[in-house]
Amino acid sequence: LPRLTLTTLLPLTDVSATAPDPVRTSRPRRWLPRRVLVMKAAVDLPHTAEVLRRATAAGVEEIDVVGRVSAPKGASERETYAWAKSTLALVVAPPSARKPQPIPPSADWRIDLARGCPAHCQYCYLAGSLSGPPVTRVFANLDEVLAPIGELAGQGTVTSGTAARGHEGTTFELSCYTDPLGIEHVTGSLAAAVQRVGTGAYGDGVSLRFTTKFDDVEELAGLDHGGRTRARFSVNAAEVAARFDGGTAPMPGRLQALATLAAAGYPVGLTVAPVMPVEGWRDAYGQLLDDVRASLAPVAAADGHPVDLTVEVITHRFTPGSRDVLLSWYPKTRLEMDESARSQKRSKFGGVKYVYPRDTMRELRSWFETEVPARLPGTPLLYLT
Ligand code: SF4
């Protein structure tokens, strides 16, 4: 198949200029794919041009049009993993992927801008959920992907009517199958969604939410977001993040990005995940909450009112399928995935997941329910699961 000619797809506009970030003091983490593969069916879609414009500006040189996305023939499992994690594919989301699903307790509905993530977290919740090599597949038919936001406005399943979140209207979660900020500088999908919802393109009474382990928020901070996107940062105790997160922004960068978006008027949030009761966990998670308060204090002081912050807490869990995939990706991991040390939980579809035993869960719940209001006064703890 022919190498794509960039000039056929790239508008001659400069994307290098972005609004300065007054808070940032270090460089954000940016993933640079080795290659971008464009499925033939996606070549002529408008969002494809935008992705290629960004990818080229970021320095991607290998851009090919392909009939299918597959690893090089004869590649070993390690080579296939490395190839997939350095590949961004532009694909057309099929109708099944464009049908929003309820996604409690996070949001009313799920919208997928992409599937896959270039980072290397050893507990990754995508392992076992997505089949095949972990290529990041970005949906090029963005207009179709976002259209259900307007169609489902007013149809809440989870958040509507709850005291803490009723004002958000019908909520749409963007990060079920990807880290949308981690790929944003080469996709632009998140900015498009935030700006469209922020300017009322899908009516009033809808809001977006996403969670991320990245920190490149310069572009988002300058958008006309209308306060309709809650930007949550996935954070963890320093020791857990240092040991198990890979290819993501370091924790200080995430907290700095949290403060930047709060200062830009976004509602913000913490997704504390995956919580692990490691030795000294109370001190470690206490330090995390204190660090968040310190990061947001200047923003609150400048605004004259508390930051609109929420907290969600997700404890570590795994399924038999995710464990097998993770062990194949990270055979030397020290992540505890011992079924005999866990309790089984059955999903409504009959699947099994392994969670912490009831006593451990009770201790974690009790600690977070006490310490979140104590260390972050006025901040709702939306759920602990
Ligand atoms: Fe998985 Fe999230 Fe880590 Fe990406 S950032 S590898 S989606 S856990």
Q: What's the whole-number mean pLDDT along residues 258-272?
A: 98
Spatial contact of 282 and 202, defined as CB atoms under 8 Å apart: no
The C-alpha angle 328, 96, 135, rounded to 5 degrees, equals 30
pLDDT at 136: 98
CA–CA distances in Å: residue 175 to residues 6, 89, 300, 364? 30, 18, 27, 25
pLDDT at 346: 92
Percent of the chain with pLDDT over 70: 92
Spatial contact of 116 and 126, defined as CB atoms under 8 Å apart: yes
Task: Return d(Cα 201, Cα 196) in angstroms, integer.
Answer: 5
Task: Return d(Cα 247, Cα 316) in angstroms, integer.
Answer: 19
The atom of ligand 1 lying closest to the CA of 212 is: 5
Spatial contact of 210 and 160, defined as CB atoms under 8 Å apart: no
Q: What distance in angstroms lies between residue 63's CA and the mean position of ligand 1's atoms? A: 24
Q: pTM value? A: 0.91
Q: Of all helices (H) and strands (E), which one includes residue 272?
A: strand 268-275
Find, among 182, 69, 73, 183, the residue nearest to 135 by Cα.
69
**Quick one: DSSP state of residue 375?**
H
Spatial contact of 188 and 142, defined as CB atoms under 8 Å apart: no
Asked if the model's pLDDT at residue 198 lies above 70, the reply is: yes
pLDDT at 73: 94
Residues with CB under 6 A from ligand 1: 117, 119, 121, 124-126, 179, 213, 248
Q: What distance in angstroms lies between residue 248's CA and the mean position of ligand 1's atoms? A: 8
Task: Return d(Cα 193, Cα 179) in angstroms, integer.
Answer: 14
281-287 LR contacts (CB < 8 Å, sep 24+): 281/237, 282/367, 284/237, 284/238, 284/239, 284/240, 285/237, 285/367, 285/368, 285/371, 286/371, 286/375, 287/237, 287/238
> At which residue do the structure tokens 């990005």 appear?
257
Report ipTM (2 d.p.): 1.00
Find, among 276, 258, 254, the residue nearest to 267 by Cα.
258
Asked if the model's pLDDT at residue 370 lies above 80, the reply is: yes
pLDDT at 14: 29
Q: Of all helices (H) and strands (E), which one includes residue 294?
A: helix 281-303
Q: What distance in angstroms lies between residue 373's CA and the mean position of ligand 1's atoms? A: 28
The atom of ligand 1 lying closest to the CA of 245 is: 3
- Residue with CA closest to ligand 1 atom 3: 121
> At which residue do the structure tokens 């794919």 appear?
33
> What mean pLDDT is reported for the chain?
91
* Single-letter amino acid code for the residue at 375: R
- Residue with CA closest to ligand 1 atom 1: 124
Find, among 180, 238, 239, the residue nearest to 214 by Cα.
180
Q: What distance in angstroms lies between residue 197's CA and the mean position of ligand 1's atoms? A: 25
CA–CA distances in Å: residue 273 to residues 121, 237, 279? 12, 9, 16
Q: Of all helices (H) and strands (E), which one includes residue 110?
A: strand 107-110
The lowest-confidence range among 11-20, 23-32, 62-71, 237-246 is 11-20
Q: What distance in angstroms lies between residue 352's CA and the mean position of ligand 1's atoms? A: 21
**pLDDT tens digits, one per residue of 275-299:** 999 999 999 999 999 999 999 999 9
Q: Of all helices (H) and strands (E), which one includes residue 173?
A: strand 170-173
Q: What's the whole-number mean pLDDT along residues 164-192?
A: 94
Q: What distance in angstroms lies between residue 121's CA and the mean position of ligand 1's atoms? A: 5
Q: Which of 81, 113, 115, 126 to mutate to test the pocket of ligand 1 (most atoms within 8 A of CB)?
A: 126
Tokens of 83: 């190839």
Tell me the three state secondary structure of residue 122: coil
